[in-house]
Amino acid sequence: MSDVDEEIYSLALSRKDGVDNDTIEEKMPHLPAEALANAINRLLRVGKIELVQIGTLTLYKGVSMAELELTSKMNEEDRLIYKLIENSGNEGIWVRTLKLKSNLPQTIVNRSLKQLEAQDIIKSVKSVKHPTRKLYMLSTVSPSADITGGPWFTDQEMDTDFIDQLAKQCHHLIYAYSYPRHNPAMVYPVSHMGYPTASQIKRFISDNRVSTVELTTENIEELLTMLIYDGKIERIAPALDVDRGLRAGAGKPDWMYRALRIADKDSPLTDIPCGRCPVASRCSGSGAITPAKCSYLAKWLAF
């Protein structure tokens, strides 16, 4: 491989999605366009780079030496099926889609899939959205949350007990912050900014190990949306102070959540430890005495 070929190949490998013609010309201004085109064609012929279309942009993506060695042992049909599966990423690809995109007979597609799966190069997974469909992806790739259903599914079955228990604990936590502990019959003024946000609830659940499953802020928001529809909480103006503010890097407001008043006999405040805590008046969102550090509140939430 010539120095020009090597430089283009290294450049293509360094970019995850590949590199376009303009970038190659910018990085190698000393070479004429014809020499660059010849080098690109040589690399395409030996399979060290491949064409990738992202929207209207055509990119050259580098193929690693490990993948080159792997695909060099495949026949043309297996290589085509492998590439289609690789390009599907963590979303996987359906058998029927493979047949349409490869334009191969179903028997050839099935044979290639069987061969690649036997070598542990690919794997089949089931989707919670389409239980009857078998999707294929590389064996080294983890399925997306859309495929597995995220933390709410276990073995393609919705874990309703886990969802209900976690939603109940979220509701208890929000209720504890929604009304004054010294007098639950009172309400906070309109200017009150002490209601919990989804990111704070997520942090509390994580810090206190309420759930053994790793949850994202978006997962918590899904639970809170369910509680809103159940008429148990409401979403109010986003918190704007330094600790809450806009979620880092997300560019979206971190809304606060307030529990709706419920009958005393059904209220979590009837047995909340805060009601009989001797230092409740000194409890705040920060400092030595805080709900996040309270072992009694953690036990109450993990009932």
**What values do phi and psi take at 242, rounded to 5?**
-65, -40
For residue 194, being part of any structural domain is answered with: yes
**DSSP states along 16-57:** TT-B-HHHHHHH-TTS-HHHHHHHHHHHHHHTSEEEEEETTE
Out of 32, 63, 94, a domain closes at 63
Pair (273, 217) in one structural domain? yes
Residue 191: domain span = 152-301
User: Residue 284 and residue 55: Cα distance in Å, rounded?
Assistant: 52
By C-alpha distance, which of 169, 126, 129 is closest to 302?
A: 169
**Number of domains the chain is built from:** 3
Alpha-carbon 281 to chain mean position: 40
Do 282 and 228 have their domain in common? Answer: yes
Domain identity same for 134 and 251: no
Q: Note whether residue 69 is domain-resident.
A: no
The tokens for 5 are 């070929």
Same domain, 180 and 97: no
- Strand 134-138 relative to strand 122-126: parallel, antiparallel, unpaired? antiparallel
pLDDT tens digit at each of 303 positions of the chain: 678 888 888 888 888 888 888 888 888 888 888 888 888 888 888 888 888 877 788 888 888 888 888 888 888 899 899 989 988 888 999 999 999 999 999 999 999 999 999 989 999 988 877 878 889 999 988 888 888 878 888 777 778 888 899 999 999 999 989 988 777 778 888 888 889 999 999 998 888 888 888 888 989 999 999 999 988 999 987 765 444 444 444 557 788 999 998 655 555 555 666 765 656 666 777 666 777 778 777 766 665
- The pTM of this model reads 0.57
221 and 133 assigned to the same domain: no
Helix (H, G, I), strand (E, B) or coil at 188: coil
